[in-house]
Amino acid sequence: MPPVELRRVRDPLANVPTPQPRGTVADSFALLDPARTAVITGAGVSTDSGIPDYRSPGSPPRSPMTGQAFRASDANRQLYWARAYVGWERYQLFRPNSIHRDLAALIPGPVITQNVDGLHSEAGSRSVVELHGSLHRVICLSCGRVYTRGWTQLALAELNPGFLATANVTPIDVETNPDGDVELAKVDGFRVPNCPACGGLLKPDVVYFGESVRPEVASAAEHAIEDADAVLVLGSSLAVHSALRLVRQAVRAGTPAVIVTDGPTRADDLATVRVVDRVAPYVTAWRHAVT
């Protein structure tokens, strides 16, 4: 089947005004007991590790794979897996930054993240709710078996000997997209493995644009919000409904919400305290304030 055209993601923040501070950093700290705070993190938490995001000022327009496109044709799956195969070598080099480490030291309860990089767990967070899944896992769309990304990388390498040379790219130096893949000019002839158990299609265990969060994951996030005395949003524009609805849930229940990011969000009007700043210095200051 021919590839489905990958369209640019519509930006729900296109007409959102520049954020204005509400309250102070000290006001926010007064609301945030680490033992009773639900933390929601977005891409702005991992940019300090070198992983690009979709909406930072100056970010290039991107056309990520959608769930519909991935399922629609062999050509689209070939395109995704070829790009992911090259990008994974560099993606594995990304490491937790000070934000991940500070949160691991501060938060005993679950960290709710929109990120698919696994860096919260690597930093030592004891409980992580991955709203959008993880690039470190691959799932069969037919039988549901889950494989490691490392196994998939070996399978791709065995099926495509010499591909890196013909693609004329150096994995360590090539620019990585937010989803771990890279831009490639040619993917002709690239072969994609199927599930060794049932022959089904293999897909990264992530929520693509246009897909829904798994019910059990959504439920875990909702329970974390219900149990919290405050909600702290770090580095997320809340452009995606999966995280925005959690903030709305908290506000409906009368739970204070603190939002920290240097760009606009879709919940700026809901924030009890709105800090317009980079995330790393804020979290470091919070850790110093409570330890």
At 90, which helix (H) or strand (E)?
helix 74-91
Q: Which two tokens stand for residue 71?
A: 């399922």
Amino acid at 132: H
- Catalytic one among 100, 120, 132, 136? 132
The C-alpha R_g of the chain, in whole angstroms, comes to 20
Q: Which two tokens stand for residue 266?
A: 């879709």
Question: What per-residue string of b and e applies to 101-134 under the rule 16 or more CB within 10 Å gives b?
Answer: bbbbebbebbbbbbbbbbbbbbbebeebbbbbbb
- Does the annotation mark 132 as catalytic? yes
Crossing angle of helices 74-91 and 149-159, in 10° steps, is 110
Q: Quick one: CA dihedral 126, 132, 136, 142, positive or negative?
A: positive
Tell me how far apart the alpha carbons of residues 168 and 160 are, in angstroms, rounded to a whole number.
14
Other Cβ atoms closer than 10 A to 279: 27
Which residues are annotated as catalytic? 132
